[in-house]
Structure 1
Amino acid sequence: MKLTILGGGGFRVPLVYGALLTDRAEGRVTEVVLHDLDDSRLYAVARVLNEQAAVVPDAPRVTATTDLDEALRGADFIFSAIRVGGLEGRAHDERVALAEGVLGQETVGAGGIAYGLRTVPVAVDIARRVARLAPDAWVINFTNPAGLVTEAMSRHLGDRVIGICDSPVGLGRRIARVLGADPKQAWIDYVGLNHLGWVRGLRVAGRDELPRLLADADLLGSFEEGKLFGVDWLQALGAIPNEYLHYYYFNREAVRAYQQVEKTRGAFLADQQARFYEEMKRPDAAALTAWDRTRAEREATYMAENRETAGAGERDADDLSGGYEKVALALMRAIARDERTTLILNVRNQGTLSVLDADAVIEVPCLVDANGAHPVAVAPLPDHATGLVCAVKGVEREVLAAAESGSRTTAVKAFALHPLVDSVNVARKLVEGYTDVHPGLAYLR
């Protein structure tokens, strides 16, 4: 089976390959094609993969190419993990927003809109090429903003594109762990949009254990989300929010913390990864060791500003192991081998949430089999969550409209309607600031 990874020079690709190396069953991936526009990054990542494969008999063969059409032809699965504008673009997204006093995070608020505006046209082009060159392939979208980009691609690929994220998986794992339950045996009642969802229940052997957690202040305050959001707020919500909702519930504090740091997250990662890729130019460098060291630092500093604001301390060691590559492997196995499973995924709504139309991409538990991912019926959201979900989905639709039409006015509307952008004038300044620094937004007129 052939797997193509778009953004194959990306830093996290070895996580995916590492997951593939654990799969020895019949029908596994035997060929991996890395595609990237930067051949030096492809070379660096290929070196890491070669060292990973050195101790695994019959590891999947790895090739690399800068030719997109060549990479797509004959693929059974396609991972889309592109970053339009690179980490330098992410750093620009953060700085322009923070200069206007609003959040610049890459998937939430102004930064997420800017990232989406320059990513959607590229993702749509990829979707059209897949439809033409590999119509039977399944596309698994890692590209952020994951829900928005998946919806853009679904307009050309239908249900053959599925978005994934490791945030709900990590959240469910932490809740199960603190309750003494096996995450593999727990049913997680999770619903929302990508980076905008809530766990409303966790069932083990048919019993919802979440009320027990919410009633125990000591237990509730003992894990990441309890430390991040505070026990009182979680008890008031009656649910456990995705960690990215910290940007909404504590927006002023988050913006202030990000304005005070010496380097934004994007700038930190840009510098950190530049050192890694530079080191990979040395023929004698230990590629896998360098990558492991860099990844450990990356994971340990994840959402550091939010945790500092909340007094949450350092991340637990169990939360430093990633997870999205495991979701991707489970998804591929379920489709390729009809190994039926349940995963939290980004898929078209199809009536699951009555407040959104059928084509809106949402993030919910799905039953997965050889025919793809099928969203499971969920209870309606409470009013406060419905308001946020509808508002953010409305913004996503304006981003898609702006990307399709090239309308600068529609782009301003997308920024202005976001709950974390508090002024039409600020929205106009954001569009001016982003078009000044991003050549990829030159299409906005």
Structure 2
Amino acid sequence: MKLTILGGGGFRVPLVYGALLTDRAEGRVTEVVLHDLDDSRLYAVTRVLEEQASAVADAPRVTATTDLDEALRGADFVFSAIRVGGLEGRANDERVALAEGVLGQETVGAGGIAYGLRTVPVAVDIARRVARLAPDAWVINFTNPAGLVTEAMSRHLGDRVIGICDSPVGLGRRIARVLGADPNEAWIDYAGLNHLGWVRGLRIAGRDELPRLLADPGLLGSFEEGKLFGTDWLRSLGAIPNEYLHYYYFSREAVRAYQQAEQTRGAFLRDQQARFYEEARRADVSALDAWDRTRAEREATYMAEARETAGAGERDADDLSGGYEKVALALMRAIARDERTTLILNVRNQGTLSVLDPDAVIEVPCLVDANGAHPVAVDPLPGHAAGLVCAVKAVEREVLAAAESGSRATAVKAFALHPLVDSVNVARRLVEGYTQVHPGLAYLE
């Protein structure tokens, strides 16, 4: 089975390959094609993968190419993990937004809109190529903003594109762990959009254990989300929000923390990864050791500004293991081998959330089998959540419309309608600022 990874020179590719190395069953991936526009990054990552595979018999064969059509042709699965504009683009997203006093995070608020505007046209081109060159392939989208990009691609690939994210998985795992339950045996009642969802229940042997957690301040304050949001707020909500909702519920504090930070997250990762790629290309250095060290630092500093704002302290050791690669492998196994499973995924709504239309991509539990991912019926969102979900989905639709039409006015509308952008004039200045620093937005007129 052939797996093509777009953005194959990306830092997290070794996570995916490491997961593939653990799969010894019949029908596993035997060929991995890495595609990237940057030869030097492909070389560095290929060195890491070679070291990973050195002690594994019959490891999946790895090739690398800068030719997109060659990479896609004949693929069974396509992982899309591209970053249009690179980490320099992410750093600019943050800088332009913070100069206007609004959030520049890569998936939330102004930064997420800027990232989406320059990524959607590229993602749509990829989707069209997949439809032409590998019509039977399943596309697994890692590219952020994951829900928005998945929806853009679904207009050309239908349900054969599925978005994944490790945030809901990590959240469910933390809740189960603090309740003393096996995460693999828990049913997580989760619903919303990517980076905008809530756990409303966690059922073990048919019993909802979330009320027990919400009723115990000690337990509730003992894990990441309890520290981030505070026990009083979680009890008021009656649910556990995805960690990214910290940017909505504590927006002023988040912006202030970013403004006061020595470096934004994007600038930190840009500089950190530049050091890694330079080191990993050296023949006298273990590329895998360099990657391991860099990854440990990356994970430990994840959402550092939000945790500092909340006084949450360091991340727990159990939260430093990533997880999106495990979701990807489970998804591929379920489809390729009809190993039926349940995963929280980004898929078309199809009537699951009544406040949104059928084609809106949402993030909910799905039953997965050889025919793809099928959203499970969930309870309606409470009013406060439904309002936020509808507002953000409306913004995503304006981003898609702007990317399709090239309309600068529509791009301004997308920014202005976002709950974290507080002025139409700010929205106009954001579009001006972003078009100045991103060549990929030159299409806006």
Instruction: Name the SS of the counterpart of 1:96 in structure 2.
Output: helix
> How far, CA to CA, are the matches of 1:54 and 1:10 in structure 2?
21
Contact 2:96 2:430 in 1 (8 A): yes
> How far, CA to CA, are the matches of 1:276 and 1:180 in structure 2?
38
Q: Which residue number in structure 1 is paired with residue 367 of structure 2? A: 367
Contact 2:5 2:32 in 1 (8 A): yes
Contact 2:2 2:29 in 1 (8 A): yes
> How far, CA to CA, are the matches of 1:319 and 1:25 in structure 2?
28
Alpha-carbon deviations, 1:252-309, whole Å to 9, x = none? 0000000001110000000000000111221111110000000000000000000000
Q: Which residue number in structure 2 is paired with residue 108 of structure 1? A: 108
- Long gaps (5+) in structure 2: none
Q: Which residue number in structure 2 is paired with residue 236 of structure 1? A: 236
> How far, CA to CA, are the matches of 2:318 and 2:55 in structure 1?
25
- Displacement after TM superposition at 1:326 (Å): 0.1
Instruction: Name the SS of the counterpart of 2:116 in structure 1.
Output: helix
> How far, CA to CA, are the matches of 2:352 and 2:381 in structure 1?
11
> How far, CA to CA, are the matches of 1:280 and 1:258 in structure 2?
30
> How far, CA to CA, are the matches of 2:74 and 2:282 in structure 1?
34
> How far, CA to CA, are the matches of 1:299 and 1:415 in structure 2?
30
Contact 2:213 2:220 in 1 (8 A): yes
Number of residue pairs aligned between Structure 1 and Structure 2: 445
Alpha-carbon deviations, 1:292-337, whole Å to 9, x = none? 0000000000000000000000000000000000000000000000
Contact 2:112 2:145 in 1 (8 A): yes
> How far, CA to CA, are the matches of 2:281 and 2:213 in structure 1?
50
Alpha-carbon deviations, 1:39-87, whole Å to 9, x = none? 1000000000000000111000000000000000010000000000000
Instruction: Name the SS of the counterpart of 1:200 in structure 2.
Output: strand
- Displacement after TM superposition at 1:138 (Å): 0.1
Contact 2:34 2:71 in 1 (8 A): yes
> How far, CA to CA, are the matches of 1:103 and 1:156 in structure 2?
31
Contact 2:343 2:367 in 1 (8 A): yes
Instruction: Name the SS of the counterpart of 1:33 in structure 2.
Output: strand
> How far, CA to CA, are the matches of 2:428 and 2:144 in structure 1?
23
Q: Which residue number in structure 2 is paired with residue 10 of structure 1? A: 10
Alpha-carbon deviations, 1:154-203, whole Å to 9, x = none? 00000000000000000000000000000000000000000000000000
> How far, CA to CA, are the matches of 1:433 and 1:179 in structure 2?
47
> How far, CA to CA, are the matches of 1:277 and 1:173 in structure 2?
32
Q: Which residue number in structure 2 is paired with residue 174 of structure 1? A: 174
Within-5 A mapping of 1:67-146: 67-146=67-146
Instruction: Name the SS of the counterpart of 1:117 in structure 2.
Output: helix
Instruction: Name the SS of the counterpart of 2:170 in structure 1.
Output: helix
- Displacement after TM superposition at 1:417 (Å): 0.0
- Displacement after TM superposition at 1:406 (Å): 0.1
Alpha-carbon deviations, 1:1-20, whole Å to 9, x = none? 00000000000000000000
Instruction: Name the SS of the counterpart of 1:125 in structure 2.
Output: helix
Instruction: Name the SS of the counterpart of 1:421 in structure 2.
Output: coil
Contact 2:44 2:280 in 1 (8 A): yes
> How far, CA to CA, are the matches of 2:281 and 2:328 in structure 1?
30
> How far, CA to CA, are the matches of 2:351 and 2:305 in structure 1?
37
> How far, CA to CA, are the matches of 1:160 and 1:248 in structure 2?
32
Alpha-carbon deviations, 1:192-242, whole Å to 9, x = none? 000000000000000000000000000000000000000000000000000
> How far, CA to CA, are the matches of 2:58 and 2:280 in structure 1?
25
- Displacement after TM superposition at 1:353 (Å): 0.4
> How far, CA to CA, are the matches of 2:97 and 2:408 in structure 1?
17
> How far, CA to CA, are the matches of 1:44 and 1:410 in structure 2?
40
The percent of aligned pairs where both chains have the same amino acid is 92
Instruction: Name the SS of the counterpart of 1:171 in structure 2.
Output: helix
Instruction: Name the SS of the counterpart of 2:363 in structure 1.
Output: strand
Alpha-carbon deviations, 1:18-44, whole Å to 9, x = none? 000000000000000000000100000
> How far, CA to CA, are the matches of 2:298 and 2:353 in structure 1?
35
> How far, CA to CA, are the matches of 2:55 and 2:172 in structure 1?
32
> How far, CA to CA, are the matches of 1:55 and 1:247 in structure 2?
43
> How far, CA to CA, are the matches of 2:236 and 2:18 in structure 1?
41
Instruction: Name the SS of the counterpart of 2:144 in structure 1.
Output: coil
Confirm whether residue 435 of structure 1 aligns to residue 435 of structure 2: yes
- Displacement after TM superposition at 1:100 (Å): 0.0
- Displacement after TM superposition at 1:350 (Å): 0.2
> How far, CA to CA, are the matches of 2:42 and 2:435 in structure 1?
29
- Long gaps (5+) in structure 1: none
Contact 2:27 2:336 in 1 (8 A): yes
Q: Which residue number in structure 1 is paired with residue 31 of structure 2? A: 31
Instruction: Name the SS of the counterpart of 1:62 in structure 2.
Output: strand
Instruction: Name the SS of the counterpart of 1:3 in structure 2.
Output: strand
Contact 2:76 2:136 in 1 (8 A): yes
> How far, CA to CA, are the matches of 1:265 and 1:250 in structure 2?
18
CA RMSD of aligned residues (A): 0.3
> How far, CA to CA, are the matches of 2:278 and 2:26 in structure 1?
38
Alpha-carbon deviations, 1:114-169, whole Å to 9, x = none? 00000000000000000000000000000000000000000000000000000000
> How far, CA to CA, are the matches of 2:374 and 2:281 in structure 1?
45
> How far, CA to CA, are the matches of 2:444 and 2:31 in structure 1?
39
> How far, CA to CA, are the matches of 1:312 and 1:76 in structure 2?
43
Instruction: Name the SS of the counterpart of 1:346 in structure 2.
Output: strand
Q: Which residue number in structure 1 is paired with residue 271 of structure 2? A: 271
Contact 2:412 2:427 in 1 (8 A): yes
> How far, CA to CA, are the matches of 1:89 and 1:437 in structure 2?
8
> How far, CA to CA, are the matches of 1:392 and 1:206 in structure 2?
33
> How far, CA to CA, are the matches of 2:55 and 2:435 in structure 1?
47
Alpha-carbon deviations, 1:72-121, whole Å to 9, x = none? 00100000000000000000000000000000000000000000000000
Instruction: Name the SS of the counterpart of 1:227 in structure 2.
Output: helix
- Normalised to the residue count of structure 2, the TM-score between the two structures is 1.00
Within-5 A mapping of 1:159-308: 159-308=159-308
> How far, CA to CA, are the matches of 2:4 and 2:344 in structure 1?
23
Contact 2:281 2:287 in 1 (8 A): no
> How far, CA to CA, are the matches of 2:378 and 2:206 in structure 1?
16
